[in-house]
Structure 1
Amino acid sequence: MKLHINNETSRLRAVVLGTAKSNGPIPTLEEAYDPKSKEHIKAGTYPAEEDMVNEIESVARVLEKYDVKVYRPHIIEDYNQIFTRDIAFVIDDKFIKSNILPDRDQEIEAIDHVLKQIDPGKIITLPQEAHIEGGDVMPMGDYIFVGTYKGKDYKDFITARTNLKAVEALEKLFPGKKVVSFSLKKSNSIAKDNALHLDCCFQPVGKNKAIIYKDGFLIEDEYNWLIDFFGKENVYEITRDEMYEMNSNIFSISEDVVISEKNFTRLNTWMREQGITVEEVPYAEISKQEGLLRCSTLPLIRD
């Protein structure tokens, strides 16, 4: 397999899509990794496996409709394998393994059948001290955008997933690209104040357009840099509640086709006004775990 990912919106050819089968029991509050999951555990509204399976299979059907090669993880019994974006990411022709929460090490082993098709020399493991997850990494042609948290209290946040060591590691790995990092707002307890990953508050879409949530960024100058990069007229701003519902976490099959949650009425209307075909799917149950469509996908090949 010849990997190729240079941006977020070129025509998708191959992807690893997560699975919700044998997702395991409802986690305890101590086991939850994010404030939104904790909210639903406390409220008794944590999603049922059957509903999550139905949601993720609706995405599989859309991908197959567009002739995308879809790989799925091998099932690990009683284990959450929905969010494949966390475990690895591809930039250019390199497959980079994430350094993620230790409890989730088995997830990469479940896609071993995919890794065996990749040149071993193209599979990269970053230094152990470089913490990173794929939701924080966005290739943008000559740029790589990276969400991070730079505070001295980094270790206090289970929601801080990508550190400056990882940003530096990417700079060394891709000397020909400009790596731009963005400090994200973190909260272990309030989901509406937590940008778990960069794709929870920002994502490119269509032709040179972007979805953005201003208050997901800790430093206003970094938010303004993105506005200048795309041009204010090309940026769709979402509200705090829309960020909470994961409006920026849609997934592009191409510049002209996007998979989005069916309840994102305002966003979906705007995308259609931009000439984008919006394939609507139900994904509100999976979103209760503070992840949505981009989180569930690991793109391998785009044109």
Structure 2
Amino acid sequence: MIKLNVNDETSRLRSVLLGTARSNGGVPALDEAYDPKSMLHIKQKTYPKEEDMVREIEAVEAVFNKYGVQVFRPKIIENYNQIFARDIGFVIDNVFIKANILPDREQELDAIQHVLSQIDPEKIIRFPEEAHIEGGDVMPHGDYIFVGTYRGKDYPDYIIARTNMKAVEYLQKAFPNKKVVSFNLRKSNTNAYENALHLDCCFQPVGDKYAIIHKNGFLVEEEYQWLVDHFGTEHVFEITAEEMFNMNSNIFSIAPDVVISERNFTRLNEWLRSKGITVEEVPYAEISKQEGLLRCSTLPLVRE
């Protein structure tokens, strides 16, 4: 059995579900793309090739192996994108929450049934259908749960708005001992520089006291400021619009002093090293063309 345990983003990782790029389904039609960044690369004919993405994910698996992390993989669905494991579920404390994802992605949950069957069924929950939620918007942080959402009345118009306020309310009910803090994120169906698809596209805790953040990803300045104050200005690494576009806040922590990061994130990686954090650099620029990076393609099951 897998004894789930995730209380934060950075404690030592023991067990993880890593997405797969095999049998990825090729280049989607423009009207099948979910996000503005994928659309951009489809139009530019620079959409990533399957063999490149497979190689990138293998580089991440090699880092996990180096640190003795147990790695689970989804069963392959033919001609289907299964890279972003974080979308389909997440763990808080010892509970696995199945995400209420875009309906045509439901089969991705079926493809990890061999993992879910090793978890106590009483520790697997799902919110009602009207409570939309995806793992990229949810971050346990000790006594807190940080949640990205979109509160606009035009929520249904945004395919890139993935977590609603109903889900925030259900999270609070499910974890009454935690303080659930929600953040209204900037959404754009068309401009990838103005779209925070999930909370981890514009913010992430790192190390034992630091955070990466992009101010313009937040619609409410006071909410952005709350985070900066929470971590302390001197502990916050502010990323530019270009860096957010390239997914600099979407790295992944193996431990407080070890992260996996994209090798082109020069400024960020230097800053992390200056804080005493080991940076395991991997190539992930092709996968990032789908508006997701390292945190999006990993689903931690057990942290110490």
Normalised by the length of structure 1, the TM-score is 1.00
Deviation sequence 1:170-211 (CA, Å, 0-9, x none): 000000000000000000000000000000000000011000
AA aligned to 1:257 is V
> Partners in 2 of 1:125 and 1:245 — Cα distance?
32
Confirm or deny: 8 A CA contact 2:88 2:108 kept in the other structure.
yes
Q: Could you list the per-position Cα deviations for residues 72-96 of structure 1 after superposition, in whole angstroms to 9, with x for gaps in the alignment?
A: 0000100000000000000000000
Deviation of 1:2 (Å):
0.7
Structure 2 distance, partners of 1:45, 1:103, is: 25
Q: Which residue of 2 aligns with 1:293?
A: 294
- Asked whether the equivalents of residues 213 and 237 of structure 2 are also in contact (C-alpha less than 8 Å), the reply is yes
CA shift at 1:51, angstroms?
0.2
Cα drift, residue 34 of structure 1: 0.1
The question of whether the paired residues in 1 share the 8 Å contact of 2:26 and 2:49 is answered with no
What residue is the counterpart of 1:254 in the other structure?
Answer: 255
1:73-152 → structure 2 map (5 Å cutoff): 73-152=74-153
Match of 1:215 in 2: 216
Equivalence for 1:23: 24
The amino acid of 2:260's aligned partner reads I
Counterparts of 1:204 and 1:125 in 2: how far apart (Å)?
26
Check the 8 A contact 2:18/2:72 in 1, yes or no. yes
Structure 1 segment 121-200 matched on structure 2, within 5 A: 121-200=122-201
Match of 2:207, as an amino acid? G
Give the distance between the partners of 2:172 and 2:94, measured in 1 at CA.
Answer: 16
* Equivalent residue number for residue 42 of structure 1: 43
Give the partner amino acid of 1:99: N
Give yes or no for the alignment of 1:240 onto 2:241.
Answer: yes
Partner of 1:55: 56
Which deviations, in whole Å up to 9, do the C-alpha atoms of 1:188-240 show, x marking residues without a partner?
00000000000000000001100000000000000000011000000000000
Q: Distance in 2 between matches of 1:265 and 1:178?
A: 35
Structure 2: unaligned runs, 5 residues or longer: none
SS of 2:11's equivalent? coil
Please give the alpha-carbon distance, in whole angstroms, between the structure 1 residues aligned to 2:38 and 2:108. Answer: 19
- Note if 1:68 corresponds to 2:72: no
Residues matched between the structures, number:
303
Aligned to 1:276: 277
Percent sequence identity is 73
Q: Distance in 2 between matches of 1:203 and 1:273?
A: 18
| CA distance in 2 between partners of 1:151 and 1:190 (Å) | 18
* Normalised TM-score (structure 2): 0.99
Give the superposition deviation at 1:158: 0.5
Q: Which runs of 5+ in 1 are unaligned?
A: none
Cα distance, 1:25 vs structure 2: 2.2
Cα offset for 1:152? 0.3
Q: Please give the alpha-carbon distance, in whole angstroms, between the structure 2 residues aligned to 1:230 and 1:125.
A: 31
CA RMSD in angstroms, aligned pairs only: 0.3
Matched residues in 2 for 1:108 and 1:294: separation? Answer: 18
Q: Could you list the runs of 4 or more consecutive aligned residues of structure 1 that deviate by over 6 angstroms after TM superposition?
A: none
2:255 is paired with a residue whose SS is coil
Residues of 2 paired with 1:243 and 1:84: CA distance? 20
Separation in structure 1 between the aligned mates of residue 183 and residue 254 of structure 2, nearest angstrom: 25
**1:227-257 deviation per Cα after TM superposition (whole angstroms, max 9, x unaligned):** 1100000000000000000000000000000
Aligned residue type for 2:111: A
CA distance in 2, matches of 1:102, 1:37: 19
Maintained 8 Å contact 2:145/2:180: yes
